[in-house]
Amino acid sequence: MKYLIQAFYILLFFALGEVVSELIGHFIPGSVVGMMLLFLALRLKLVKPEKVDRVSTLLTANMGLFFVPAGVGLMTQFGLIKEFWPAIIASMVLSTAIVLTVVGWSQDRIEKHQEKKKKRKEEQHD
């Protein structure tokens, strides 16, 4: 029963994300909006992590299965991939570089912020 309730929470945020995505003209996919809404709800403590932890762990552990249909779909479009492979490779390399740069920059800022917070806390205790 616990898995069913946890799956309900995840599917509820997925559905909310789909509604928001529809309202903004599908500019951002509903699944992504739903994930952001769930993150905000967890961060703002509107939803306790215990309400989604088991199902989210199960889904994350089996994530590879969700890529099988996409892989099969790619193989059915092999001719198209063969025609546009330079553009595909260039976009893959560029997007990977951008993601690595943004993640590295974000991590650096977070670490600096945490260090400042820790120093302030230590100074208050002295």
Q: Give the integer Cα–Cα distance in Å for 113 and 125.
A: 19
In a domain, 20, yes or no: yes
Which tens digits make up the pLDDT trace of 21-38?
999 998 999 999 999 999
pLDDT above 90 for 1:
no
In a domain, 12, yes or no: yes
Which tens digits make up the pLDDT trace of 11-20?
999 999 999 9
Q: Where are the alpha helices (DSSP H) in the chain?
A: 2-23, 30-43, 53-61, 68-76, 78-83, 85-125
In a domain, 69, yes or no: no
In a domain, 48, yes or no: yes
In angstroms, the Cα distances linking 107 to 4, 42, 100 are: 35, 20, 10
In a domain, 31, yes or no: yes
Give the count of domains, the chain.
Answer: 1
Q: Which domain holds residue 38?
A: 1-61
pLDDT above 70 for 126:
no
Total residue count of the chain as it appears in this document: 126
In a domain, 44, yes or no: yes
Residue 75's nearest CA partner among 67, 64, 63 is 67
In a domain, 108, yes or no: no
Which tens digits make up the pLDDT trace of 48-99?
999 999 999 999 999 999 889 888 888 888 888 899 999 999 999 999 999 9
